[in-house]
Amino acid sequence: MQTVGVIGGGQLARMMQPAAIALGINLAVFAESEGSSAHGAVTKVGDYTDLAQLREFAKDVDVITFDHEHVPTELLRQLEAEGVNVRPGPAAPSAWHFTDANGNVPDLHHGIFHKDIGGGKN
């Protein structure tokens, strides 16, 4: 049975749990705290900005994904360089931080920026 490792124990990781069960996939969650939203699937509590802890977590999973955009991209790149299957790839969290000079968030589908989402000035 495949094991998906999720870095971050928030709401997204919690919502993955029923789907993983239905698909017969083990879900392992690396959470920041024991009281996280995904507490039912937490297998490790620690600091997701610590490469050694991420490496240890990665040993027991088939693929790593993430619950939020705060996982340092350089650490995801390092894991991938070491042969860890990271999906989506390390470039994905960087795209979540993308804004224009005024702080507007892009709508990549329509090629426009939204000031109401990013808090921009336009």
Q: Tens of pLDDT along 72-109?
A: 888 999 999 999 999 988 776 555 555 555 555 555 44
How many helices (H) and strands (E) are present in the chain, helices listed first?
Answer: 5, 6
Does residue 103 sit in the same domain as residue 83? Answer: no
Give the pLDDT confidence score for residue 88 in this predicted structure.
85
Q: Which of 45, 43, 41, 14 is nearest to 31 (CA)?
A: 45
Biggest CA-to-CA distance, the chain? 49
Could you tell me the residue range of the domain that residue 47 belongs to?
Answer: 3-89
Does residue 12 sit in the same domain as residue 37? Answer: yes
Does residue 82 sit in the same domain as residue 116? Answer: no
* Number of domains forming the structure of the chain: 2
Q: For the sheet containing 26-31, what is the strand order?
A: 42-45, 26-31, 3-7, 63-66
Give the pLDDT confidence score for residue 93 in this predicted structure.
54
For residue 39, pLDDT beyond 50: yes
Give the integer Cα–Cα distance in Å for 119 and 61: 37
